[in-house]
A and B are shown apart, each in its own frame.
Chain A
Amino acid sequence: MILDLAEWRMSIDSSFLPIISLLPFLGALVPGLMIRAGRTACATFTALPTFLALVMLLILAPGVMRGEVYTAEIAWLPQLGLSASFFLDGLGLLFAVMILGVGLLITLYARFYLSKDDPMGQFYTYLLLFQGAMLGIVLSDNILLLLVFWELTSLSSFLLIGYWKHLPEGRQGARMALAVTGAGGLAMIGGMLILGNIVGSYNLTDILAAGDQIKASDWYVPALILILLGAFTKSAQFPFHFWLPHAMAAPTPVSAYLHSATMVKAGVFLMARMWPALAGTEIWFYLVATVGLITMVLGAVIALFKDDLKALLAFSTVSHLGLLTMLLGFGTKAAAIAAVFHIINHLTFKAALFMTAGIVDHEAHTRDIKRLGGLARLMPVTATIGTVAALSMAGIPLFNGFISKEMMLEEASHTYWFQNPWIVPALATLGALFSVAYSLRFIFHVFGGPVRDDYPHHPHDPPFGMYAAPALLAVLVVVIGIAPFLAEPVVKMAANAVTGAETKPYLKIWHGINPALFMSVGAILGGAVLLALHRPLDRAWIAAPRPEAKVIFDGLVATVVRWTRGISEALHNGAISRYLAYFVTATVIVGFAAYQGGALGAPTREMLPVPIPVFFGWLLLIIATATVVILHRQRFLALVVIGVVGLMVSAGFVYLSAPDLALTQISVETVTIMLLLLALHFLPKETPAESTGLRIGSDAVVAVAAGLAVGLLAFAFMMRDFDSISAYHLANSYKGGGGTNVVNVILVDFRGYDTYGEIIVLGIAGLAIFALMEALLSGPAGARLRNSSYDLDRSRDRHPLMMVVVTRLMLPIAIMVGVYIFLRGHNQPGGGFVAGLVVSIALLMQYMASGFAWTTRRQKIKYHTLIGLGVLVAGLTGAGAWLAGRPFLTSAFGYVHLEPIEEFELATAALFDLGVFLCVLGAVMLMLYSLSRMARHAGETVNKEPMGYDPSRAVESLRKKAE
């Protein structure tokens, strides 16, 4: 067969995609370790996965430029329509390169920015996690996968924004960002699911191809609104813009990364990505363009009056994101081209500006513009970089921001808003005007003016490593600004992907004399005037009443919290009796409603006769239960009566031919009673009477209703024939599982996974009790225990001779019984669970006879280990099925004939059962161990001898005396 070389190439290339998106996550494991090798090593190893991913991406780039689309798919949960599928087209490539490229620069910058006290390993780990999540968003071909990554960016950005945990602003900003973007993400999940339902596929490529079908659907508007909520919150669009400035409490590298290139662009990316599917309708235009326009103007106006450098940049980012949103909202091809181009430009100048602000902060120890000025003479390199980037932000010719702003104004100039020809261009010009003003303010109030002598710290240019990254970006700003045609292929590639059609971007500096030029000139002049008037305007701004977003947000959150707390505290006030009352009542009501549904047929069975002994057993059960209710305040007495109930239940199991259950019930009963006795020893002997008559009455009603309901339900079922899975189990137990004890085969084979989970839970319960007791004993309760005396009414004969002798005699027999029950489990009543309990009881008896400490000292394996071993054995047995090419926990069995023993069966299920056995034994004994530690804490001494009084020692001593 001749290999199709091109196809082969393609598949190899496509297989890069999952690797690219995995690399940052894998890399995230490294910095935490490498920080031990030093900060530079740590930064290098952070850059490595980013760099590798970038290289792989660039290998794919030529193909994408030619218009190819690479896809790779790994089935994950096909039942849900969720697959780990990735695709790379022009838009994805543009964003991926931006994410990785700026990621590299940020890694370098952060290496110099972070101080020695900051945990750098953590920072780089968070950074890589965030990078991976962002990459995932832009590379996903499955919208469910995209949602997963979307939420991951919210989470990892939370970690990054809150990186300086010691600063309250950092924590609050992180929480606000998480709340806003997380809430938007939730809305988006709804929107995406609707979208997937309309199209019938969760694959992005399918959805993008089904634009007309989506726009025609009745569900288009809700889906659009929900998705836009996600995008607007993420991209800080009005009225969700308030979180972005508060996220500035993060270290500057984070701000530079999240708020120039990545996080906030995710919303823009999503709108661009969904452009073919959602854009082009009226509602899209009015929603997206209007919100974008408002955000652009509002952000620009606020930015002018911010004194904090980073706050200025944050609001400028809000404004520019609004610009991008507006352009995408226009829904025209030319606007999409402008948007793509501006994404690139904004990235270059904004990242450079953030880093510049970080350098200024780092050197002058302040970011307050009113305390700065004249830095151009003190730090010329930084000033040059900052000025170049800020001029681009202002949209001054020969810098790249000018060209895209010109294109934006051009698009705005012929946009009608509700038949109004001038409102959009006018507002766009106003936004541009303020943009010029704050950009110029950034230049003149920070770098311009005379050198001052009251900086908190005398500034000078930082080391090369710190300004290398912004300098590179500034060079890009100028290069694209002078020779825009260089960016043409990239813009064309991304714009083609956005619009899903062939575009012809034509980037040049001089567009001729057109409305955009006049608007631009007007904006620059107006901006200069505004800056000149800044001082009086600023005073007016400060004096004017403004809504404070954080106060509103905090108030909103507090209200919601109050409400939810009110509800949950009314339902769950910490008293378990109330939880139970609600739960039981609700269940009874729901059950009654189901009964009212009337689907219950007529009884198909006769009542069985009630033999006299059974009747008395039943009577005993009822009397015992009633006695428990009456006597429950005397705890020990109640426990004894509970024992009666347990024994009667096991007798019932025997009568109803369920020997397995009877066996289990008896052993569980024994172990529970013993553990309860031990626990009760340290508790008050009586329950105080606290309930009022009313509460007792209502509780009685609930209890009786629930009891009757359960009884009637059981009765209804037993009077009818119904299909259950039992028939299958009965038929297949021997054939498929190799055992005649159906209960055991169900446990270890049919429902082995359940059992596996259960033993893990049991093990966890044992460990949790141990941990709780550990915490309890080291706390105030432990101190109280030490000071209380429990041995006042206790026998001095702690380890009675008779008991010790008998338990010694019983131990081997009991263990023998345990082994027997274990071995026969597969075919006869028994099994690992019961065997574990039986052996526990045998050991418990030793504890009771010779004391806890004495026995523990003779024990070789720790109970923690036993639990672990149990889970491990069961898990390995299950995994062993993989070796045979079967699914997890498939059991195998065979029959072996060894002379002179009868033919017997070997089943892997027995090995699994061994795991169950070990885990049960370990968990039960660990619980006992934990409780017994209390006794030791209460001051019990350790005996050296197994029994309190050993007559043989007395005889020996007499003999010695005689000699």
Chain B
Amino acid sequence: MLAEIVISAFLVIGGIFGLVGSYGLLKLRDCMQRLHAPTKASTVGVGSVLIASMLYFLLVKGQVSFHEVMITLFLFLTAPITAHFMAQVHVRLREREDDLPETDRDFGWSIYEDPPVYGDGD
């Protein structure tokens, strides 16, 4: 009984975050902002569902399931890359170099400036 409540709670939390993420995608105004919304869904939302799944197998089926760990791993690996690329594309296509803020570093934005070279001669 308790197990069911806990699992359900995780599922509901996951659902809520999924909903919030989707709503954010509609609500937020520009691309950079919108990039944030689905991350909630993909981390907390999916994470809760995965935890619920692990608990379900552990408490109800009585077996340990590792699949969810793998899924989490892959999610954590791919989500940042995807977000990174989307941001890059956005900056490249929708922002002009002059509009970007200063980096306050030795080098400018990687999108507009070639990477520094550390040759053997340096």
Residues in A whose Cβ lies below 8 Å from that of B78 = 806
What distance in Å separates the Cβ of A793 from its nearest Cβ neighbour in chain B? 6
Nearest residue (CB) in A for B89 is A795
B110 close to A797 (CB less than 8 A): yes
The yes or no answer to B92 lying at the interface (CB within 8 A) is yes
Residues in A whose Cβ lies below 8 Å from that of B84 = 800, 802-803
Residues in B whose Cβ lies below 8 Å from that of A795 = 88, 92, 110-111
A810 close to B77 (CB less than 8 A): yes
A948 close to B115 (CB less than 8 A): yes
B88 close to A797 (CB less than 8 A): yes
Bound form: Cα–Cα A810–B93 in Å = 29
Bound form: Cα–Cα A470–B88 in Å = 87
Within 8 A of B (CB), among A786-800: 793-797, 800
Residues in B whose Cβ lies below 8 Å from that of A793 = 92-93
The yes or no answer to B122 lying at the interface (CB within 8 A) is yes
Residue B122 contacts which of A797, A800, A948, A960 (CB distance < 8 angstroms)? A960
Residue A956 contacts which of B85, B116, B118 (CB distance < 8 angstroms)? B118
A806 close to B77 (CB less than 8 A): yes
Bound form: Cα–Cα A948–B115 in Å = 6
A797 close to B115 (CB less than 8 A): yes
Overall SS of chain A's interface: helix
Nearest residue (CB) in A for B91 is A795
Bound form: Cα–Cα A950–B84 in Å = 17
Residues in A whose Cβ lies below 8 Å from that of B80 = 802
B81 close to A802 (CB less than 8 A): yes
Bound form: Cα–Cα A33–B85 in Å = 61
Bound form: Cα–Cα A950–B78 in Å = 20
Nearest residue (CB) in B for A799 is B115
Bound form: Cα–Cα A153–B113 in Å = 71
Interface string of B83-122 (1 = CB under 8 A from A): 0110010001100000000000000001111111010001
Nearest residue (CB) in B for A796 is B114
Of A953, A956, A960, which is in contact with the most chain B CB atoms at under 10 Å from its CB? Answer: A953
The interface size bin for chain B is 10 to 19
Bound form: Cα–Cα A650–B106 in Å = 48
A957 close to B118 (CB less than 8 A): yes
Bound form: Cα–Cα A796–B78 in Å = 22
Nearest residue (CB) in A for B84 is A802
Residues in A whose Cβ lies below 8 Å from that of B77 = 806, 809-810
The yes or no answer to A949 lying at the interface (CB within 8 A) is yes
Bound form: Cα–Cα A950–B81 in Å = 17
Residue B118 contacts which of A796, A800, A954 (CB distance < 8 angstroms)? A954
Residue B110 contacts which of A948, A950, A953, A956 (CB distance < 8 angstroms)? A948
A796 close to B112 (CB less than 8 A): yes
Bound form: Cα–Cα A953–B77 in Å = 24
What distance in Å separates the Cβ of B24 from its nearest Cβ neighbour in chain A? 20
Residues in B whose Cβ lies below 8 Å from that of A800 = 84-85, 88, 110
Bound form: Cα–Cα A766–B116 in Å = 38
How many inter-chain residue pairs (CB < 8 Å) link A and B?
A: 46
Interface string of A904-928 (1 = CB under 8 A from B): 0000000000000000000000000
Given contacts A795-B88, A806-B81, A949-B110, contact A957 B122 (CB under 8 A): yes
Of A794, A806, A960, which is in contact with the most chain B CB atoms at under 10 Å from its CB? Answer: A806
Bound form: Cα–Cα A810–B92 in Å = 27
Bound form: Cα–Cα A794–B77 in Å = 24
Nearest residue (CB) in B for A947 is B115
Nearest residue (CB) in B for A950 is B118
B118 close to A797 (CB less than 8 A): no
Residues in B whose Cβ lies below 8 Å from that of A948 = 110, 115
A796 close to B111 (CB less than 8 A): yes
Interface string of A762-804 (1 = CB under 8 A from B): 0000000000000000000000000000000111110010110
Of A795, A802, A948, A954, which is in contact with the most chain B CB atoms at under 10 Å from its CB? Answer: A795
Residues in B whose Cβ lies below 8 Å from that of A949 = 110, 115-116
A796 close to B93 (CB less than 8 A): no
Bound form: Cα–Cα A960–B118 in Å = 11
B116 close to A954 (CB less than 8 A): yes
Interface string of A270-303 (1 = CB under 8 A from B): 0000000000000000000000000000000000
Bound form: Cα–Cα A238–B85 in Å = 79
Residues in B whose Cβ lies below 8 Å from that of A796 = 110-115
Of B78, B84, B88, B115, which is in contact with the most chain A CB atoms at under 10 Å from its CB? Answer: B115
Residues in A whose Cβ lies below 8 Å from that of B93 = 793
Bound form: Cα–Cα A806–B77 in Å = 7
Residues in B whose Cβ lies below 8 Å from that of A953 = 118
Of A794, A797, A810, A956, which is in contact with the most chain B CB atoms at under 10 Å from its CB? Answer: A797
What distance in Å separates the Cβ of B72 from its nearest Cβ neighbour in chain A? 14
Residues in B whose Cβ lies below 8 Å from that of A809 = 77
Bound form: Cα–Cα A802–B92 in Å = 18
Within 8 A of B (CB), among A928-962: 948-950, 953-954, 956-957, 960-961
Residues in B whose Cβ lies below 8 Å from that of A956 = 118
What distance in Å separates the Cβ of B46 from its nearest Cβ neighbour in chain A? 17
Interface string of B48-66 (1 = CB under 8 A from A): 0000000000000000000
Bound form: Cα–Cα A954–B78 in Å = 26
What distance in Å separates the Cβ of B113 from its nearest Cβ neighbour in chain A? 6
Nearest residue (CB) in B for A948 is B115
Residues in A whose Cβ lies below 8 Å from that of B114 = 796
Bound form: Cα–Cα A956–B80 in Å = 27
Residues in B whose Cβ lies below 8 Å from that of A954 = 116, 118
What distance in Å separates the Cβ of B29 from its nearest Cβ neighbour in chain A? 21
Bound form: Cα–Cα A740–B33 in Å = 50
Bound form: Cα–Cα A793–B111 in Å = 10
Bound form: Cα–Cα A663–B26 in Å = 32
Residues in A whose Cβ lies below 8 Å from that of B118 = 950, 953-954, 956-957
Residues in B whose Cβ lies below 8 Å from that of A957 = 118, 122
Given contacts A803-B84, A956-B118, A961-B122, 20 further A-B contacts (CB under 8 A): A794-B92, A795-B88, A795-B92, A795-B110, A796-B111, A796-B113, A797-B88, A797-B110, A797-B111, A797-B115, A800-B88, A802-B80, A802-B81, A803-B81, A806-B77, A806-B78, A806-B81, A948-B115, A949-B110, A949-B116
Q: Which 7 A/B pairs are nearest by Cβ-Cβ distance?
A: A949-B115, A797-B110, A953-B118, A948-B115, A957-B118, A795-B111, A957-B122
8 A-B pairs (CB sep. < 8 Å) = A796-B112, A796-B114, A800-B88, A802-B81, A806-B81, A810-B77, A950-B118, A956-B118
Question: Which A residues contact B (CB, under 8 angstroms)?
Answer: 793-797, 800, 802-803, 806, 809-810, 948-950, 953-954, 956-957, 960-961
